[in-house]
Amino acid sequence: METPVESTRERLLNIAEQRFGEGGYEGTSLRAITVAAAANIAAVNYHFGSKEALLRAAVARAMAPVNTERRRRLDQLEAKGEPSAEQLIRAFIEPGLDLVLRRGERGPVVARFIGRVAFDPSQRIRELYAAESDPVEARYLTALQVALPTAAPESVAFGYLNMLGLLALHQSQALTRPPGAEPGLDGQEDPGRLADNLIAFLVAAFDRGLRP
C-alpha cells in the first residue's frame, strides 16, 4: 500500500509530465503543477528540491525503461555480429514509440513529454535530457557508423540527428494526420504501424542520403 509521501511524489511527477509536455519547461509554472497535483511548493522542495530537479526526476523516470530496452536490444544484436542499419534503427525507434503502448492511458502523455523536452528551446533543458539519454544513444551512433562504412561519419551523425528529431516530433504529437488520411497514419491510433512506417522511411533516407 502506498504511503502518503509516495503518493504525493508520484502525483507531482505525473502532473509534471503532463504540464511540461503541454507547455514546455519555461511555459509551465511550478504553481500550476502543485495546484493540479493538490500539493504545495514545500512538497516539491521536500521531494525534489526545485522545479528543474522535478523535471530531471520526471525525465529519468520516463527514459529509464526506454534506455533499458534500447540497451538490451543493442547488446543482443551485437552479440550476434555486426547489425545492419535497419536492425539498429528498429531497435532504437520501437522502444521510443512503445511509450504509448506500455504506459496505458498515460502513454501519450509520457511520449509527448519526452518529445517536448528532447527539443526544448532552452539549451539547459536539452542538456538535462541528454544527460539521461546520451550514453545509450552514443552507442547507437557508433554502431550506425560501423554499419555504414562507406558514409562519412559526419553524414551518419547528420542522419542520426534527424532520426532523433523525427521520433521526437511523433512523440510530442507535433505531426498530425493529414486531412482525409486514413486513421492510424499519425500513430495515435496504431503506434505499431507508425513504427513500421517511420523505420521504413528512415532506412530509405539513410540508404539514399548517405551514399558516397
Using H for helix, E for strand and C for coil, what is the string for 50-95? CHHHHHHHHHHHHHHHHHHHHHHHHHHHHHCCCCCHHHHHHHHHHH
Beta-carbon-side half-sphere exposure of residue 145 (alpha carbons within 13 Å): 14
Band the pLDDT of 118: cuts 50, 70, 90: confident
Check: CB of residue 44 under 8 Å from CB of residue 30.
yes
pLDDT over 60 at 186, yes or no: no
- In the chain, % of residues over pLDDT 70: 83
Residues 62-81 pLDDT 10s: 888 889 999 999 999 999 99
For position 102, what pLDDT does the model report? 63
Band the pLDDT of 190: cuts 50, 70, 90: low
* pTM, entire model: 0.81
Mean pLDDT of 140-167: 92
pLDDT over 70 at 178, yes or no: no
Residues 20-59 pLDDT 10s: 999 989 999 999 999 999 999 999 999 999 999 999 999 9
With vertex at residue 11, the alpha carbon angle to CA 130 and CA 168, rounded to the nearest 5 degrees, is: 30
Check: CB of residue 143 under 8 Å from CB of residue 156.
no
**Mean of the per-residue pLDDT values for the chain?**
85
Q: Which three cell numbers stand for residue 142?
A: 557508433
